[in-house]
Structure 1
Amino acid sequence: MQLYQNQQLKVYNSLSGKKEIFQPLNEGHIGMYVCGPTVYSNVHLGNCRTFMSFDMIFRYFKHLGYKVRYVRNITDAGHLVDDAEDGEDKIAKKARLEQLEPMEVVQRYTVDFHNILQKFNFLPPSIEPTATGHIIEQIEIIKDILEKGYAYERNGSVYFDVIKFNETNEYGKLSGRKLEDMIANTRVLAAQDEKKSPQDFALWKKAEPEHIMRWPSPWGDGFPGWHLECTAMSTKYLGETFDIHGGGMDLKFPHHECEIAQAEASNGHSPVRYWLHANMLTMNGKKMAKSTGNNILPGEIFTGDNKILSKAFMPSVVRFFMMQAHYTSILDLSNDALLASEKGYNRLMDALKNLDGLETGKSSSFDVQLWRQECYDAMNDDFNTPILIAKMFDAVKHINLVKEGNESITVEDKSKLQVILNGFIFDVLGLESKTDIGTDSDKLSGVVDLLIQLRKDARDNKDFETSDKIRDQLAEMGIQLKDGKEGTTFSVS
C-alpha cells in the first residue's frame, strides 16, 4: 500500500481561490508543470525560492508514493524586455552587449542555473524542455487557434483575439480580473498598434531585420510569443488536461491567464486542474532589485562575498530558512533571519546525531505514532512546511531530554524516530546533513570560526598582540571580522 492511500492532501487552488482535496486525474500518477527560468542572467534568489517550493512539493509527492512526471521548462527564445509585446529580446540584448551568440548566453546561464540548484540539493525534473526545441509545436497551436477563429494575422504577426474569446469563455478567471475593467483602464493609441484591442497578446511576432533569434513560419520569419511555449510544452508532455501547474505569483497575470486562454481556444477545455503559486522573496523588508542594490545572488550567500550579510551561509541553511515560511506567503531575507535559521538547522542536525547514541529504556512518554501523523497533517494542509518544522523540533526536544537523562525512549520508538525524521528532513524538506555537504565555503567557515575562538581566548587572557595579529592577518586575506553583542562574525571581501 502506498502512503498516499492513507493521507488526504489539500492544496490551495488559485483558480478557485480555496483549498481543495487533491485528486489526480489518474490514481497514483501526477503530472506537474512549472514555469522555468529565462536564461539571460544569473538565477535570481527569488526565482530559487519558487523553484525550491515546487522541488519540495515534488519531493512530498514522491515520498507519498506517487509516480510524478515533473516538467520544468527552460525559456531560451527570450522574452521581450519587461515582458512587453514590443522591444528587444532579453537574450538577444545580452548577446549584443557581450558580443556573444545568443545560444552562448543561453548555455552560460543554463549551466549557472543548474549549478545553483544542485547546491540547493534540488531533484532534477523528469523533463526539462526548451522553448527553441518546440517551435514546430508552437506553430501548430497557432494554426489551430487561427482556424477556430480566436486569432488573427497582421503584417506577419499573429495575435490572440481576447474579446472574441471572452464571448464564449472567461478571460481573467485565474487572476480575478474582468475584461471590461481592463479595457476601461487601457489608453488606446490609435494607429500605433496593429492589434484589434490592447488586451490582445502575441502568439507570433514578425522579426525585424535586426532581430537575431528568428524562425520560419507560415506568416513569415519571426518568433513565438512568451505565453505560447508553456502551453505547447505542458500539453505535449502532460496531455491536454493535467494535474498541477505551478509558478511564481508574478506569473498569474498575464502569463498563466494567457496560457489558459490559449489552451481553451485550441483544445476546448481548461488545461489545468490545480493552479499553485509561490509568493515572493523580499530582503530587509524591501523588494529585491538590482537597481537599488537591495539584491543578492545565491552564490554570494554561499561564499560570503557580499556587503549585505555578516558571513557565508551553507546552501542547506538557506534552504532551511526558506522552508520555515509557507510557500504562499511573502518571506523576508535578512542577516538576522539567516543567523537564526543557522542555529535552528544546527540544532536539528545535532539532534539527529544524538539520536544514534541514545540509550534505550522500557517506556517513553513521547507518542511517536501521534507525532508522525501530525507531521503528515502539516504537509497534507497545502504543504505547510513551517508546521512540519515545528513538529520536527518537538522530536528534537524529546531527544535532548532523553540525552540529558530526563526522559526515556524504547528501542522501537528510537528506530521509528530515525526513519521518520530522516524521511521528512532529507527526503521531503531536501536538507543535507553537514557531513554530506563539504563545500569550500563550509570549510572556510569552519577555519575562520576556529580562528575567531582562538582570538577570543587570546583577548580573554589579555593577549592583545595575538588577538590583533589574527584580526589583521585575516584582513590581509580579505576576511573582515565584526565584533558585536552576539559575538564575532566575518565577511569575505
Structure 2
Amino acid sequence: MKSTLSVYNTLTRKKEQFEPLNPPFVGLYVCGPTVYGDPHLGHARPAITFDLLFRYLRATGHKVRYVRNITDVGHLENDTDEGEDKITKKARLEQLEPMEVAQYYTERYHDAMRALNVLPPSIEPHASGHIIEQIEMTKAILDKGLAYVSNGSVYFDVEAYNRKYRYGRLSGRVLEDMMANTRELDGQADKRNPFDFALWKKAAPEHIMRWPSPWSDGFPGWHMECSAMSTRYLGERFDIHGGGMDLMFPHHECEIAQSTAACGHDAARYWMHNNMITINGQKMGKSLGNFITLEELTTGSHRLLEQAYSPMTIRFFVLQAHYRSTLDFSNDALRAAEKGYERLMKALGTLAKLRPSEVSTVDVSDIEARCTAAMDDDLNSPVVISVLFDCVRIVNQVYDGHRTISASDLDELRRVMHLFVFDILGLRDDLAGDDSRMLSSVVDMILDIRMQAKAAKDWATSDKIRDGLAAAGIKVKDRKDGCDWEVE
C-alpha cells in the first residue's frame, strides 16, 4: 500500500507533503487530557483524529512513536498563571490526595478510549513524573537570557524572545498588537509583562503539589510539560505535534517559544489541529447546560439526549466530518450516524456470505486507490466513508443477484473493506455482540425449518413462520437460493 500523505500544517497554513524526519520512527506528540473530570465530547475528537493518523501511518509502513501526555499538575484555572491548580482544587473539594484524583480520572479516560477503540499511545508520560526534565529546560531558557526569576517563580520573557525569534507564528498573533491591547491584571505584579507566562510557579503555602527547585518549592507551568516531554521521548526535532484548536493559543504558541528558546530551533515540523465540537450549534460548556460526558452519551442520561448512542456511533460520527471542520452534535445527526454505521456493519456481514461467480460485472480495482488518495489528502475520512458506501452498494447488488463478482474480486473487496473499516478508520462491529449472535442463531434455525416447509410445499407453515417473525420485528426476504432477514 503506497502513500503520499499530505497534511495541513497549521504553522505554515498550507498543505505540505509529509516527509518523515527521523527514519527509525515517525515522532508524533499529541496533547492529552488534564485529568480532573470525567471524559467528555471534547476529549473524543482529538483522540479519534490522531488515532486515525496513528493507524494510517502504521498501515502505510511507518514505524511510529506516538506520545500522548497526561496533565496531572500545573494546569491552573485560567491561562494568565493565576488561580488554583485544577487537580488540587478537585482534590480539596473531594478531600482526596491530588494523585488519587489524577489516577481515578486517568483510568476513566482510558476506559472511554478503549470504548471508542482508540489505540493506546506508544508512551503516555505524566507531567508529575517529569519534573526534573522541566526544571532542566527552565534552566536552559534562563541561561539563554529569555526568562527571568521573580519572587521564586520563573517567567518566560516574551518580549526578549520576540526580538530574537518571532512570537505568534502559530496563532498569527502579533506581539506589538498584544502589547497595545493588553492591560495590567491584578495579581500579576511578578511579571514584567502581562503576556509573559510561567515556566515555574512558586507554591503558595496551601498548595499541595510542590517540588524543590533552584528557585522555590513549587510546580512547573502548564506549557512547560509538553516541551520537556516531547524532547525527552522524541528528541529536539520530531515530525508531528497535534491537539485541539483550542490549544493553539496560548498553549502551543508557548510550547514553540519554550522549545525554540531552549534548543535554538523549532521542535515539530508539522502542527495539526482538529476543530471544535458544538452542540446544536452552540459551543459546549457547563454554563450553557450542554456539557455532555461520554458516559452520559452512551447511557442517554443527559437531558438533551433522546436516546443512548454506542461508542462506535460516536466514532463513526466524528469520522464523517473532516477533522479541520467544526463538528456539531445533535440527536438528529447522531441518529443518522447510527443508521450509517449499522448499514456499513450489515454490509460487512453480507460480504462474508457472498459466493463468487465465474465473471465479475462489478469493478473493484480502484477502491483501494480511491481510499488511499482520500487519506493522503489530509486524512479526508468523509471521502473514505463515501467510497466505502460505494462498496456497500456493490455488496448489496451482488447479494440481490443483480450483479456478479469473481473470486479474485471478492477477495480484493473483502481485503480493502477490512483494511479501511477496521484497521484504518478503527471501527468495530458492535452489532455482532453475544446477544446478536444468539438472535442470529435462533432466527437461522427457524428459517431452516421454514425452508424445509417450503420444500415440502407446506405453505401454511412457511407463511406462519414468516408472519410470526414479522410480528417480532424481523423482516424476511426470500431469494432464489434461500432467504435473508433483518431486524426492522
TM-score, with length taken from structure 1: 0.87
Change (3 A) 1:415 1:80: same
Shift of residue 332 of structure 1?
0.6
3-state secondary structure, aligned to 2:15: strand
Q: What is the alpha-carbon distance in structure 1 between the residues aligned to residue 431 and residue 264 of structure 2?
A: 53
Question: Are 2:131 and 1:155 aligned?
Answer: no
Written as runs of structure 1 = structure 2, the 5 A alignment for 1:391-410 is: 391-410=387-406
Shift of residue 243 of structure 1?
0.1
Q: Is the Cα–Cα contact under 8 Å of residues 74 and 220 in structure 2 kept in the other structure? A: no
Q: Is the Cα–Cα contact under 8 Å of residues 22 and 238 in structure 2 kept in the other structure? A: no
3-state secondary structure, aligned to 1:420: helix
2:351 to 355, 369, 389: 355
Code of the aligned partner of 2:265: H
In structure 1, the partner of 2:110 is: 114
In structure 1, the partner of 2:212 is: 216
Question: Are 2:269 and 1:273 aligned?
Answer: yes
Q: What is the alpha-carbon distance in structure 2 between the residues aligned to residue 93 and residue 407 of structure 1?
A: 64
TM-score, with length taken from structure 2: 0.88
Written as runs of structure 1 = structure 2, the 5 A alignment for 1:433-452 is: 433-434=429-430
In structure 1, the partner of 2:311 is: 315
Written as runs of structure 1 = structure 2, the 5 A alignment for 1:224-373 is: 224-373=220-369
Deviations 1:81-115 (A, max 9, x none): 13331111111111111111111111110110001
Q: Is the Cα–Cα contact under 8 Å of residues 205 and 224 in structure 1 kept in the other structure? A: yes
Question: Are 2:177 and 1:177 aligned?
Answer: no
Shift of residue 291 of structure 1?
1.7
Q: What is the alpha-carbon distance in structure 2 between the residues aligned to residue 406 and residue 191 of structure 1?
A: 74
Q: What is the alpha-carbon distance in structure 1 between the residues aligned to residue 79 and residue 98 of structure 2?
A: 18
Shift of residue 189 of structure 1?
4.8
In structure 1, the partner of 2:411 is: 415
Q: What is the alpha-carbon distance in structure 2 between the residues aligned to residue 87 and residue 413 of structure 1?
A: 62
Q: Is the Cα–Cα contact under 8 Å of residues 25 and 243 in structure 1 kept in the other structure? A: yes
Code of the aligned partner of 1:109: Y
Shift of residue 224 of structure 1?
0.5
Q: What is the alpha-carbon distance in structure 1 between the residues aligned to residue 344 and residue 223 of structure 2?
A: 42
Code of the aligned partner of 2:404: S
In structure 1, the partner of 2:70 is: 74
Deviations 1:310-356 (A, max 9, x none): 22221111111111000111111111111111111111111111111
Change (3 A) 1:431 1:91: same
Q: What is the alpha-carbon distance in structure 1 between the residues aligned to residue 184 and residue 430 of structure 2?
A: 58
Q: What is the alpha-carbon distance in structure 1 between the residues aligned to residue 188 and residue 425 of structure 2?
A: 51
3-state secondary structure, aligned to 2:230: helix
Q: Which moved more, 1:87-96 or 1:292-301?
A: 292-301
3-state secondary structure, aligned to 2:66: strand
Q: What is the alpha-carbon distance in structure 1 between the residues aligned to residue 389 and residue 187 of structure 2?
A: 64
Q: What is the alpha-carbon distance in structure 2 between the residues aligned to residue 439 and residue 327 of structure 1?
A: 34
Change (3 A) 1:370 1:294: same
Q: Which moved more, 1:43-52 or 1:166-175?
A: 43-52
Q: Is the Cα–Cα contact under 8 Å of residues 33 and 70 in structure 2 kept in the other structure? A: yes
Q: Is the Cα–Cα contact under 8 Å of residues 6 and 16 in structure 2 kept in the other structure? A: yes
Percentage identity across paired residues of the two chains: 57
Code of the aligned partner of 1:11: V
Gaps of 5+ in 1: 444-453, 459-488
Q: Is the Cα–Cα contact under 8 Å of residues 38 and 78 in structure 1 kept in the other structure? A: no
Shift of residue 30 of structure 1?
0.5
Shift of residue 188 of structure 1?
2.5
3-state secondary structure, aligned to 1:158: strand
In structure 1, the partner of 2:20 is: 24
Change (3 A) 1:95 1:11: same
Code of the aligned partner of 1:209: P
Q: What is the alpha-carbon distance in structure 2 between the residues aligned to residue 380 and residue 369 of structure 1?
A: 18
Shift of residue 362 of structure 1?
2.6
1:9 to 5, 20, 41: 5
Q: Is the Cα–Cα contact under 8 Å of residues 28 and 65 in structure 1 kept in the other structure? A: no
In structure 1, the partner of 2:200 is: 204
Shift of residue 429 of structure 1?
0.8
Code of the aligned partner of 2:347: A
Q: What is the alpha-carbon distance in structure 2 between the residues aligned to residue 83 and residue 44 of structure 1?
A: 21
Shift of residue 359 of structure 1?
2.4
Change (3 A) 1:192 1:389: closer
2:87 to 91, 94, 103: 91
Shift of residue 434 of structure 1?
2.7
3-state secondary structure, aligned to 1:19: strand
Q: Is the Cα–Cα contact under 8 Å of residues 6 and 17 in structure 2 kept in the other structure? A: yes
Change (3 A) 1:78 1:156: closer
3-state secondary structure, aligned to 2:222: coil
1:56 to 52, 56, 60: 52
